[in-house]
Chain A
């Protein structure tokens, strides 16, 4: 089993906790957490894509 299945737990917790330390209103916390989750997932996906391309085509 790939170790990447454990990644969603980390992304959800980091997004929620970080956002909750920035705001007190639940609306803002959830919106900010969603933004951070999307940002982190996109960043990791791009890194994965680059590494995959390097390992496949080089």
Chain B
């Protein structure tokens, strides 16, 4: 089978924009905005922050956190790994960027041994009693909330890649060339 020959020029090589990707990690859509794709940037920003905070509110503002349950672990790496394994949802929430950083800050403060969470407990780990009450006494809204926050985080991975390498299907705009008649004769 032979491939059909076309006269279309090959698309230009992809230029990776690592700064744009970093900015889109920090705030969804920010990388696209700095690249001049302002509309898409706004779409990503509104959609992903909308979904993330909608889920956070559905979960009574207590479903984005990283608990410090394994203080007995010997090294900080194994402690963090155990805590992430316990609250694996945070792995999906993390890519949303700066919006999830308060949870990391609360975790660091907790690991350092401070009893009282800063920032009025914003994104701090709820007590086990609170968690039991949220899951036992409500409908499934609390669980639905964290699912939304995780989906927002995972969607931001696609947005980061879009900022890094552009859209999945690149559109090469055909540039108008000199008109040549179909019989190959000289153009006028």
Of B10-18, B80-88, B111-119, B156-164, the one touching chain A: B156-164
* Chain A interface residue number, banded: 10 to 19
Inside 8 A of B169's CB, which chain A residues have their CB?
22-23
Inside 8 A of A6's CB, which chain B residues have their CB?
54, 58, 141, 144, 148
Inside 8 A of B155's CB, which chain A residues have their CB?
13-14, 17-18
Interface residue B51 (Cβ < 8 Å from any Cβ of A): yes
Bound-state CA distance A5–B39 (Å) is 28
Main SS class of interface, A: helix
A23/B43 contact (C-beta < 8 A), A17-B158, A18-B158 known: no
Main SS class of interface, B: helix
CB atoms of A3 and B140 under 8 A apart? yes
Inside 8 A of A34's CB, which chain B residues have their CB?
none
Interface residue A56 (Cβ < 8 Å from any Cβ of B): no
CB atoms of B166 and A17 under 8 A apart? no
**Contact check: which of B37, B140, B141, B151 meets A10 at CB < 8 Å?**
B151
Bound-state CA distance A18–B101 (Å) is 24
**Contact check: which of A3, A10, A18, A24 meets B40 at CB < 8 Å?**
A24
**Contact check: which of A17, A24, A26 meets B44 at CB < 8 Å?**
A17
Name the interface residues of B100-158: CB closer than 8 Å to any CB of A.
139-141, 144, 148, 151-152, 155, 158
Question: B: which residues have CB within 8 A of A?
Answer: 37, 39-40, 43-44, 47-48, 50-51, 54, 58, 139-141, 144, 148, 151-152, 155, 158-159, 161-162, 166-171
